[in-house]
Structure 1
Amino acid sequence: MNIPNPLPESQIHIVLVEPEIPQNTGNIARTCAVTGATLHLIRPFGFTLDDRKLKRAGMDYWHQLPIHYYDSFQELVDRYPTGRFFCATTKGDKFYTDFHYAPGDFFVFGKESKGLPVEILTAHQDSLIRIPMRKTLRSLNLATSVAIISYEALRQLSFPDLL
């Protein structure tokens, strides 16, 4: 599915809406650092930014990635009004591999316990993506999901600036 994207500020953007587990966010920050992705964090968080588990999971990569903070998802959308937002959810009908990604795309992930709010899913219903998994299990770990989808997007972009 092709959706036009006029925003090549960063190759890809990772958005975490109200993340709850510091180790997941730290792991995701590390993934963003090594891939060149921009990380966007939407408050409230289930931890403090000085949490040692967060820092340890991200190791010494924190200074190696662009990171932005927002008080709401709408604040992010307002900042990037022409952005393409792909929302990862178990409720999506299309696999994450069914879309053609472009530089500057945003990949949105919800909190570990509940996923994304209904209003975000409704607003982006044409770009809901899911990772295939067994029906009897709820979901993958958030950091694992971010890595899977990030690397598919980067593969489609021919792994820009990566060795």
Structure 2
Amino acid sequence: METAQGVTERGTKVLNKRLNIVLVEPEIPPNTGNVARLCAATGATLHLVKPLGFSIDDKHLKRAGLDYWHFLDIVIYENFREFEEKNPEGPRYLATTKGGRAHTDIEYQPGGYLLFGKETKGLAPEILARYPDTAIRLPMLAEARSLNLSNTVAVVVYEVLRQWGFSGLV
């Protein structure tokens, strides 16, 4: 695991977190910055799985997160295997255009992980194959290919928080 300014190493496992957002191989700095700000505002932990399409010190990443970086719990992994090894417990919910259920048709459990893939290709087929029962999608017109990554994360996160009664938020 790597740490950088504003990034905290959490050891082998993130404990006692209700909501975990996992970006697998994100490519666009402002998207990741927007998700980081969302995590800081909601108390979620952000997990970044390499390779990243940018440096963690990228000015566009920092700008999108504004002055929220000191509120952020973030863990960076060398690859998806390391993420799985360090976080063996907790359900996985995979956001994909290939998901069998709408994001509102699943009951999210505390301590779960919301997984989102890279902007250009989504989650790898081997990841999707591991968790077929919890692949979710956002309803949209058939002609639409997908939504922006940070928008998708926000929609799913707020559905989870809605189900949990927005506990701890004002």
Q: Provide the TM-score with structure 2 as the length reference.
A: 0.90
CA distance in 2, matches of 1:51, 1:87: 27
The 5-angstrom pairing of residues 102-117 of structure 1 reads 102-117=109-124
1:99 is paired with a residue whose SS is coil
Which ranges of structure 2 fall in alignment gaps of 5 or more residues?
1-13
Secondary structure of residue in 2 paired with 1:97: coil
Alignment-derived partner of residue 151 in structure 1: 158
| TM-score, reference length from structure 1 | 0.93
Q: 2:36 aligns with which of 25, 29, 38?
A: 29
Q: How does 1:49-88 map onto structure 2 within 5 Å?
A: 49-88=56-95
Structure 1 unaligned regions, length at least 5: 1-6
Q: Tell me by how many angstroms 1:80 deviates.
A: 1.8
Partner of 2:114, secondary structure, is strand
Structure 1 stretch displaced more, 41-50 or 8-17: 8-17
> Of the two structures, which has the highest relative contact order with CA contacts closer than 8 Å and spacing of 6 or more?
1
Tell me the CA shift for residue 18 of structure 1: 0.4
Give the deviation of 1:102 after TM superposition: 1.7
RMSD value, Cα: 1.2
Shift of 1:130: 0.4
* Separation in 1, partners of 2:86, 2:137: 25
Q: 2:103 aligns with which of 96, 100, 121?
A: 96
Identical columns (%): 54
User: Which digits, 9 at most, give the CA deviation of each residue in 1:59-82, with x for residues without a partner?
Assistant: 011110110000111211211212
Partner of 1:20: 27
Q: Which residue of structure 2 lines up, in the alignment, with residue 9 of structure 1?
A: 16
SS of structure 1 residue aligned to 2:84: helix
Q: Which residue of 2 is the match for residue 4 of structure 1?
A: none
Distance apart, 1:83 and its partner CA: 1.4
State the 4+ residue runs in structure 1 displaced beyond 4 angstroms: none
Give the equivalent residue in structure 2 for 1:139. Answer: 146
